[in-house]
Amino acid sequence: MGIGNRRLVEGRESREGFGGHPCRRLGVAVMATLLLWGSAASAAPKQDPTEAIRGANDRLRELLAQKTDDQASRDRINAQITRELRQLLDIGFLAERALADHWEKMTPKQRSELQSTLQAIVEKNYLSQLRGNLEYKVDYVGEVTQSDAVLVKTLIRAQRRGRPARISVNYRLRAEGDHWRIFDVITEDVSILQNYRAQFNRIIAKDGVDGLIARMKAKLEKGERLGKMEKTEKAPEPKTEKSAD
């Protein structure tokens, strides 16, 4: 193709395929970039992931440590705790990831039932663990950026059977709007998301989605953890120390 013909083709492409004059195209591209950047920036979380975890842990500990003498005060504190947990924990995303391919095949009613039941169980277990021992220290040891999340690594220092113990607890978070939300907790290398996924797959294969929901509701009524729905590999014991740091 000659130079003249190539210029003619390039000129036609610039006019017909990309919106006209090059200066106009440049202006449109710049405006689009600014709009996209501005939208992303305005929706970005205000804190980094570690600070989000630290702040939530501090607020929850403060709420749980409050002494209450009447039911109205207890109800008020419980409502604050519930709001804090529901902003922190992304149960909907956890459920969807844990159910994997099953999620797309579920009816809206099944999704809603399973998600609300899972939310109640996780919140109850989370609070039970926090209330069980308020005398602990959290060391925030680092962050790792993953393809679809940020991993916040922590080390919990507490007492276990009267001896100091160190427990590795890592959180996987994703950005949602202007804050970070947890969708997986990894305790001593055991992922709650992967544990749920393994159990859900086995139970659905045997009893279907409705059977899984029924088991979850039964566990919630009995106040039992989901980990007891069936036998699973036991998490390793936390490391104990001979003396406190």
Residues 196, 115: Cα–Cα separation, whole Å: 13
- The pLDDT value recorded for residue 129 is 75
Mean pLDDT of the chain: 79
133 and 205 housed in the same domain: yes
DSSP letter, residue 162: T
How does pLDDT run across 119-167, given as a tens digit for each residue? Answer: 999 888 877 777 776 678 999 999 999 988 999 999 999 877 778 889 9
Q: Is 146 within a domain?
A: yes
pTM of this prediction exceeds 0.95: no
Give domain status of residue 29, yes or no: yes
Which band of pLDDT confidence, cut at 50, 70 and 90, is reported for residue 43?
low
Q: With pLDDT > 90 as the criterion, what percentage of the chain qualifies?
A: 53
200 lies in the same domain as 110: yes
Lowest mean per-residue pLDDT among 6-20, 64-78, 198-212, 213-227? 6-20
Task: Looking at the structure, tell me whether residues 132 and 90 fall in a common domain.
Answer: yes
Residue 186 maps to a domain:
yes
Residue 245 is assigned to a structural domain of this protein: no
What integer is the mean pLDDT of 183-202?
A: 96
The sign of the CA dihedral 210, 215, 220, 226 is: negative
Distance CA 65, CA 57 (A): 12
Q: Are residues 36 and 55 in the same domain?
A: no
Residues 109 and 134 in one domain: yes
Task: Report the pLDDT averaged over residues 58-87.
Answer: 90
How confident is the model at residue 230, as a pLDDT?
52
Percent of the chain with pLDDT over 70: 73
Q: Which of the four pLDDT bands, split at 50, 70 and 90, describes residue 234? A: very low
DSSP label at residue 177: T
Say whether both 163 and 61 belong to one domain.
Answer: yes
Tell me, yes or no, whether 19 and 37 share the same domain. yes
Q: Average the pLDDT over 11-39 and give the result.
A: 41
Would 128 be classed as within a structural domain? yes
Stretch 45-63: mean pLDDT, rounded?
A: 91
Residues 15, 131, single domain; the answer is no
Contact 51, 88 (CB under 8 A): no
Q: How many domains does the chain have?
A: 2
**Domain of 133, in residue numbers:** 49-240
Instruction: Verify that 141 and 226 share a domain, yes or no.
Output: yes
pLDDT of 13 strictly over 50: no
202-206: long-range contacts at Cβ-Cβ below 8 A with a sequence spacing of 24 or more? Answer: 202/230, 203/229, 203/230, 204/102
Q: Are residues 122 and 32 in the same domain?
A: no
Rounded CA separation 175/178 (Å): 7
* The pLDDT of residue 125: 83
Instruction: Please indicate, yes or no, whether residues 102 and 13 belong to a single structural domain of this protein.
Output: no
Q: Of 11, 26, 43, which closes a domain?
A: 43
